[in-house]
Amino acid sequence: MEFYDVVRTRRSVRSYKPDPVPEEVLNRVLEAVRIAPSGSNRQPWRWVLVKDPETKRKLAEACNGQMWIAEAPLAVVACGRNLHYNRGGYMGDMSMLVDLSIGFTHLILAARNEGLGTCWIGSFDNDKVKKLLGVPEDWNVVGITPLGYPAAGEAAFRVPRNRKPLEEIVSTDKF
């Protein structure tokens, strides 16, 4: 698939087929995550694949009851290690969030290229998810996504509507 088609048609999918994701497809998506850039190449991440149905159910409950997450054959939980590193003012501890966001974006775009749906979940109870998955104390959950084939097939990947025009979001030389 052409790159700009991937970007243009990546959508949040909230209904999944139970069909498993073939290992070779999953490995290509994970390879895209593995090679994602991070500040000073620290790679402060761990990607937890949740496949067990009961664990997925509990994960969905910890995502404020968004039970459709458990429909997908697996969920990916992006965990980041707090760096406690002064990287230029306020970006110290928050640099981990930037790094994980880059990796997560690689994941969702690679998934779209493979015909897989994702939905970046930011509404979750960090402590509950950490306890469920055994995430160490100095790590935090940054994002969660179900991963699987959309129930609606390719129709799930429509071009977005209601996006602001460039002149409202881009300026030159000054804000």
Domains identified in the chain and CATH numbers? 15-148 (3.40.109.10)
- Tell me, what's the pLDDT at 91? 66
Q: What is the pLDDT of residues 97-125, one digit of tens each?
A: 999 999 999 999 999 999 999 999 999 99
Whole-number Å distance between alpha carbons of 23 and 9? 24
77-102 per-position pLDDT tens digit: 999 998 777 666 666 667 899 999 99
pLDDT of residue 159: 87
Q: Contact at 8 Å (CB) between 114 and 28?
A: yes
Run of H or E residues at 95: helix 91-113
H or E segment to which residue 129 belongs: helix 126-133
Give residue 82's pLDDT.
82
Which residue in 37, 83, 41, 76 sits closest to 56, CA to CA? 76
Say what the pLDDT of residue 40 is. Answer: 86
Per-residue pLDDT for 170 more than 90?
yes
Lowest model confidence (mean pLDDT) among 2-11, 25-34, 153-162: 153-162
In 3D space, the residue among 76, 74, 71 whose CA is nearest the CA of residue 45 turns out to be: 76
39 vs 133, more confident: 133
Q: pLDDT tens-digit profile of 35-79?
A: 999 988 999 999 999 999 999 999 999 999 999 999 999 999 999
| Whether the Cβ atoms of residue 39 and residue 70 lie closer than 8 Å to each other | no
Sign of the C-alpha dihedral, residues 43, 98, 82, 73? negative
pLDDT bucket at 136, cuts 50 / 70 / 90: very high
